[in-house]
Structure 1
């Protein structure tokens, strides 16, 4: 039982805590405290107040490197290879029936079994809800009809005057193709996603509803479908059937298609496979310069079954797509994320460096005979064409899926 003296001391501590303005700590003291925190708490600290953020910007920055999201049976963990540390219990706020669609820094675009989208911050647990797909959709006569039956694998249907498309987990997850961009400083964001290679939907912060782009982009009249998409510098890039690339400019109040200044539209990408090659997936990525890359994950079936990535960039002078061996001296790439990212300034191990592609096993759609039993992901070195498979011993094989992301600590 607490004595009267114990209670008095506790009351004194409470009064000191309530009366002290923690935002007014001496800068050197606060900087020392911030720099002693682990990476996740270090990032969270900048959101406390403007004074803390000002001091946070002067701290010694942590090495920038890709982290891994480890999906366990009942939990989500983050692994930071720079610290060789696992952070557990980081799925606070995620619903049990949510599925990953796209990522941007610390943020994930998620969708649940009601086809409700939201954006989730892995480090601060902040959630941004997006409009319901059942609400009015601008641009074209299409609507989403939700299935009200509880527990059904059928989420609903997209309906327009000419067709009715089933919506469910098997289509949303297996054919996942979406993009998320978010500016942590301003809070601006853009979301776009493809359904069944037919519908293209987008939402920009401040819009009153989702946009449907099918009629605006004249896709059906051109017999085109959208296969992949990427977003950078306020532009949405769409990789379509027949190798064409469309561009939509989101910098204004209303998005508009870029036509005259799109160098890629009349020069589609073509690649003819060689004997013994199997193209697993084709993805698009945008360099810092705004140039478009086409990346192929390739399984070579002859001799020793080798896994490779081919990268192509269009020569803007000759308008010819050329295979390249580099993505820049200070850039690296997470396959499927749509943009290159700044490479770490120092070697943090596990092959994490510039000129590398980070991938998960599903990016090759591999059967077990093609990958080591101990790994779910790897790093491809463009200079040597060598894959470093990453061991997962520290997770005790409890994970079911691995995914890469790069925290935004800038």
Structure 2
């Protein structure tokens, strides 16, 4: 579905949750298991999905490509399955994002419901900074589009950018985005591509980035799993080293109940 040069992500209504983020783990020998990062143990086996590739998820729902190249979404708990593209627009709010990444010709485009056209953000950075880092796109709970950059090796830092509202002519501007240093007290689930309100009681930490792979939209080269929570305020990283003993093919953060 994706190419090394073109990334696409569909962001539906931002879900709310009454529980802390969980992890769905995908061992190489097949299946899907639910892991509780707070308790530090596997909760349950969610079943086997032979010959399937998991492309994305929104809460409990997984976007799946099976061995017959059929595309569908499935609730891993109830096993309810909806074939695609037979979905109908139910009028909910949405944001569609594109990240086109080629040296010398990179831009991010987005379109919200009600818009008649895409808004383009040409990505023009200093030569020493761009195309050397991993890039992803995300949407805040208020519908603001974010560009997320990070160190591709050790993931020791993250940088967040949004469209610069003061740029009048983006096609001829030196900088079309401006850096932001906070998520406004929210948390970013990078695997899902959106932010959620922080909640101390639920273990959802403010100004934190939950991720398992940073460069998930494009599989142009093998990337090891790196299950972490990065805190923007303290610039510190928490890794779940106890999961290294499992032979995992993939893992994804999700919000239970959505």
SS in 2 for 1:327: coil
Asked if 1:343 is matched to 2:198, the reply is yes
1:63–1:345 distance in 2 versus 1, CA, 3 Å = farther
1:340–1:286 distance in 2 versus 1, CA, 3 Å = same
What is the aligned partner in structure 2 of residue 205 from structure 1?
Answer: 87
What is the aligned partner in structure 1 of residue 150 from structure 2?
Answer: 297
In the TM superposition, what are the counterparts of 1:8-407 in structure 2 within 5 Å? 63-72=18-27, 73-91=29-47, 94=49, 96-130=50-84, 203=85, 205-206=87-88, 233-241=93-101, 242-248=105-111, 258-259=116-117, 264-265=119-120, 267-272=121-126, 274=128, 278-279=132-133, 281-299=134-152, 307-318=156-167, 320-329=176-185, 331-346=186-201, 348=203, 352-361=204-213, 363=215, 376-392=226-242, 396-407=245-256
1:129–1:332 distance in 2 versus 1, CA, 3 Å = same
- TM-score (normalised: structure 1): 0.48
Unaligned runs of 5+ in 1: 1-60, 131-202, 208-231, 252-256, 369-374
Contact preservation (8 Å) 1:335, 1:363: no
1:408–1:270 distance in 2 versus 1, CA, 3 Å = farther
What is the aligned partner in structure 2 of residue 408 from structure 1?
Answer: 257
Contact preservation (8 Å) 1:298, 1:310: no
1:401–1:244 distance in 2 versus 1, CA, 3 Å = closer
How far did residue 293 of structure 1 move? 0.5
Contact preservation (8 Å) 2:17, 2:257: no
Contact preservation (8 Å) 1:108, 1:121: yes
| Structure number having the greater helix percentage | 1
* RCO comparison, higher one (Cα < 8 Å, 6+): 2
SS in 1 for 2:234: coil
Contact preservation (8 Å) 1:283, 1:294: yes
Quote the Cα distance in structure 2 between the aligned partners of 1:289 and 1:405: 19
1:245–1:118 distance in 2 versus 1, CA, 3 Å = same
1:291–1:344 distance in 2 versus 1, CA, 3 Å = same
SS in 2 for 1:392: helix
How far did residue 247 of structure 1 move? 3.6
Quote the Cα distance in structure 2 between the aligned partners of 1:240 and 1:76: 31
Unaligned runs of 5+ in 2: 1-15, 169-175
SS in 1 for 2:237: strand
1:379–1:326 distance in 2 versus 1, CA, 3 Å = same
Quote the Cα distance in structure 1 between the aligned partners of 2:208 and 2:254: 14
Quote the Cα distance in structure 2 between the aligned partners of 1:306 and 1:68: 19
Contact preservation (8 Å) 2:162, 2:179: yes
How far did residue 70 of structure 1 move? 1.4
Contact preservation (8 Å) 1:283, 1:336: no
SS in 2 for 1:332: strand
1:328–1:317 distance in 2 versus 1, CA, 3 Å = same
Cα deviation digits, residues 241-299 of structure 1 (max 9, x gap): 43434344556xxxxx633xx5x42x4222235379931x2111111222110001224
1:346–1:277 distance in 2 versus 1, CA, 3 Å = farther
RMSD: 3.3
